[in-house]
Structure 1
Amino acid sequence: MKSLKFLLTGIFFGIVLVKSEAVSWYRIYEMFQFQSFHMYGIIGSAVVVGIIGVWLIKRSKLNSIEGQPIVLPPKDRSIARYLIGGTIFGLGWALAGACPGPMYILVGTGVLSMLLVIAGAILGTFFYGLIKDRLPH
């Protein structure tokens, strides 16, 4: 029963992304071609909401749903790491036409070719798990 609220939240979030056209390949293409502000507005809004949310969590010293204090450890400030990771993520996003969350939403809307993209993402995650101990972190 606890998972039901998360399932309903996910369904609602999926509907919002479909209705806002955030899962539209054409909108993503427009973004990467710098032809439209639409996706930048959505992403920028999400970043602002995330910043405010983290600030409120830190300021209010909120607890998780299990009652444990939420601890946000400091991040490694390696610029090269984020540039390389962001570039790989962006290239995958541009090639697939979707980032990880909308891939599942697109399958739900009937774009079954996204199953190949999901399989590739799972395979890539598995491969990373095999070699992560040999990579510089």
Structure 2
Amino acid sequence: MIRLAAFLCGALFGLGLVVSDMANPARVLAFLDVSDAWDPSLALVMLGALIPSGAAYLWIRARGTPLLAASLHIPTLRIIDRRLVIGAAVFGLGWGLAGVCPGPAIALLGTGQPFAIIFATAMIAGVLLHGLIHRPTATTGQP
């Protein structure tokens, strides 16, 4: 049941990316180019996504437990450390250079474009490399 829910949520997210044209790297790059022909549509899509996301978050918090898990897993760490800053910088650099982030990259795989296949392959390689470098410890579960 959880895998089906995850698949359906991912499919809905991908559909939203395609319908809003946010899987189009040219549209994303136009948003990032504030010097010339800036396209604010990405900001509008993100703002529009906050409404149902915020409502669902408030509903689940008030409910106390999620629908398909025993408890809520809300991060408690509130510090901004070196790993967070470096990770965010690498993510932003990749997003700015390629014009897509992981969500749209997965949605673009359905098109069979060589760009999408190369991006997704590099993204998977990065995830696997991170897993090798930052293996969790047996006692804490933290890298």
Is the TM-score greater than 0.5?
yes
> Which residue in 2 is equivalent to 1:45?
48
> Which residue in 2 is equivalent to 1:104?
106
| Structure 1 CA distance for aligned equivalents of residues 86 and 66 of structure 2 | 34
Q: Could you list the runs of 5+ residues in structure 1 that have no partner in the other structure?
A: none
Q: Could you list the runs of 5+ residues in structure 2 that have no partner in the other structure?
A: 136-142
Cα separation, partners in 2 of 1:25 and 1:84, compared to 1, 3 Å: same
Partner of 2:112: helix, strand, or coil? coil
- Pairing 1:87–2:89 present: yes
> Which residue in 1 is equivalent to 2:21?
21
- Post-superposition CA distance 1:91-122 (Å, at most 9, x none): 11122221111112112123232111111111
Report deviation, 1:61. 0.6
May I ask how many residue pairs the two structures share in their alignment? 133
Q: Which consecutive segments of 4 or more residues in structure 1 shift more than 4 A?
A: 1-6
- 8 Å CA contact retained: 1:103, 1:117: yes
- Pairing 1:11–2:18 present: no
| Structure 2 CA distance for aligned equivalents of residues 5 and 127 of structure 1 | 28
- 8 Å CA contact retained: 1:61, 1:70: yes
> Which residue in 2 is equivalent to 1:36?
39
| Structure 2 CA distance for aligned equivalents of residues 36 and 11 of structure 1 | 26
- Pairing 1:55–2:95 present: no
The one-letter code sitting in structure 2 at the alignment partner of 1:64 is L
Report deviation, 1:124. 1.1
| Structure 2 CA distance for aligned equivalents of residues 109 and 132 of structure 1 | 33
- Give % identity: 28
- 8 Å CA contact retained: 1:64, 1:70: no
- 8 Å CA contact retained: 2:2, 2:68: no
Which protein has greater RCO, CA pairs closer than 8 Å, 6+ apart?
2
Report deviation, 1:14. 2.3
Q: Which has the higher helix share?
A: 1
Report deviation, 1:5. 5.5
